[in-house]
Amino acid sequence: MWKVAPLKSSFALAAILGFILTVIYTDRIGEDWAFALGFVFALMFVASMISMKKAPIEAQLEMSPDLVSPEKRKKKASKKKKK
């Protein structure tokens, strides 16, 4: 089939905010532009949902080093108990 790229959560946030702002400012930017931008932001949101569901978790963990694996969490907890 196809490979799914891991996307950051900020991508989904940008899609949601972009769609909401497009809907709010439809009168100012015109209906043609509003439809085009709304469509693009909707596609971005769908892509982020597919990424959340299908992307490999290893690639997502590499993208966000702040997340700690369960093994590291257990090691940290055992170190705290020893102190």
**pLDDT tens digit sequence for 22-36:** 999 999 999 999 999
Q: Domain ranges for the chain, please list them.
A: 9-82
pTM here? 0.67
Could you give the CA distance from residue 61 to residue 6 in angstroms, rounded to a whole number?
10
Encode pLDDT of 35-78 as tens digits.
Answer: 999 999 999 999 999 988 887 777 666 666 666 666 666 666 67
Rounded to the nearest 10°, the torsion over CA 29, 32, 36, 37 is 10
* d(C-alpha 6, C-alpha 47), whole Å: 10
Q: How far is CA 55 from the centre of its chain?
A: 11
